[in-house]
Amino acid sequence: MQKKYKIWIDEAGRGPWLGPVVACALTFNPGNLPSKELLSKINDSKKLSEKKREEIFEELVKLSLWKNPRVYFWVWIVDNYLIDQVNIKKANKEAMRRALVELLRKINPHPRILPNKEGIIDSILIDWNDNYIFDELDKKPVYVIWWDAKIIEIWAASIIAKVFRDKLIITYASIYPDLSLENHKWYWTKKHSDYLTWKNKVTWIHRITYKPVKKVLEQKEKLLLHICCWPDSTIPIVDLKDKYDLTCFWYDPNIHPKKEYDKRLKAFKKVCEIEQVPYIIGEYDIENFFTNTKWLENCPERWERCEKCYDMRLTRTSIEAKKLEIQYWTTTLTISPHKDEKKIFTLWEKLNLKDSLEFLKLDFKKNDWFKRSIEYTKKNKIYRQDYCGCVYSKN
């Protein structure tokens, strides 16, 4: 009498943020069972060390290669792209379905001799309660919950699926060493979470529909906005804060006297509070300004002295952006009709090459931003200065 096969199906990788889901369909040959010694080693994969799982995996693979195999199994992988396209439950079903179809072919490679595939199958059992229906089967599989705590066959299927997926993830770890995947092949770790700080850190193996990854992709890009001439920067903040995760950086090294600097700083803080944006206050760097502009005191506006001042502000802002790991940065210097945006953009290009940052090349003189800034300061009673800031422009 033909002995019938009992097939077990399990999967690995439903919960992780990245990589494929892997299903294994497995059965022991009822006419040539594995040795009692091997069966005694097989246990719940969660209770086995990585080394033990791999040893059992290797033994099961060897037994499946015999002329009269003691173990039949098939593994099927569904990648993260299909998981994102159809959802994890449907992707898991497809992995199980393909693993089952291929296993049935392996057990019965001659369908003309045994045309009824279910004639040699006692039952098909799946761990968990997804309640899938497979068109390839005449009857529905049996679904069991938590039987993996006591059934050797489901332990074996689970070991094969987990080890197989582990090996894939270790390969990915060599491509993305910063993710430390070799230490957390399955689920969330703090290191993984800390790594996903902005969009360009999401890799091609991440599941972009999973909440932690989706949250990163949907978050606004961080932008550091350099501000020195406060009234002129009001509208840039209003317009940019909705599009970016904005942080304002106050750094104006040339304002003189100190009393004037304090008035402008107070106005800066007031507008940040009105618009509810975070801010950072840079150092009052007047001595450094005087040193950098020595012998240039008599230069006209927009000439070499101003270029030195632009350079100080842009260099200091790029340092702050790099320190805070903010990829994008820009300056409100370009809003003033007294500033030379061509020189500003030339200096920016040199800094970007040096620091690998991304400067937003925005000319704030366009779209009536200057005019709107005047209206804003009047409406909100914001102090508006009558000279650039340095003692030379005042004179």
Q: For residue range 155-208, what is the model confidence (pLDDT) as tens digits?
A: 999 999 999 999 999 999 999 888 888 877 656 677 778 888 778 889 999 999
Residues 253 and 289 sit within 8 Å (Cβ to Cβ): yes
In this structure, the chain runs to a length of 395
Eight-state DSSP code of residue 18: B
- Rounded to 5 degrees, φ, ψ at 23 are -110, 145
Confidence of residue 115 (pLDDT cuts 50, 70, 90): very low
Which residue ranges make up each domain of the chain?
Answer: 5-177, 222-394
Lowest mean pLDDT among 78-82, 126-130, 335-339, 363-367: 335-339
Looking at residues 111-139, what average pLDDT do you find? 72
DSSP conformation letters of 296-358: -TTPPTTSHHHHHHHHHHHHHHHHHHHHTT--EEEEGGGGSTTS-HHHHHHHHHHHHHHH--E
Instruction: Choose the weakest-confidence range: 69-78, 81-90, 203-212, 220-229.
Output: 220-229
Distance CA 240, CA 221 (A): 11
Q: CATH: 2.40.37.10, 1.10.630.10, 3.40.50.620, 3.90.1150.10. Which one for 222-394?
A: 3.40.50.620
Q: Is residue 78 within 8 Å of 21, Cβ to Cβ?
A: yes
Arithmetic mean of pLDDT, 304-308 = 77
Tell whether the model's pLDDT for residue 267 goes beyond 60.
yes
DSSP symbols for 38-107: HHHH---GGGS-HHHHHHHHHHHHHHHTSSS-SEEEEEEEE-HHHHHHH-HHHHHHHHHHHHHHHHHHHH
The confidence score (pLDDT) of residue 394 equals 61
pLDDT on residue 337: 60
CATH superfamily, domain 5-177, is: Ribonuclease H-like superfamily/Ribonuclease H (3.30.420.10)
Please name which of 185, 216, 189 lies closest in space to residue 200, comparing C-alpha atoms: 216
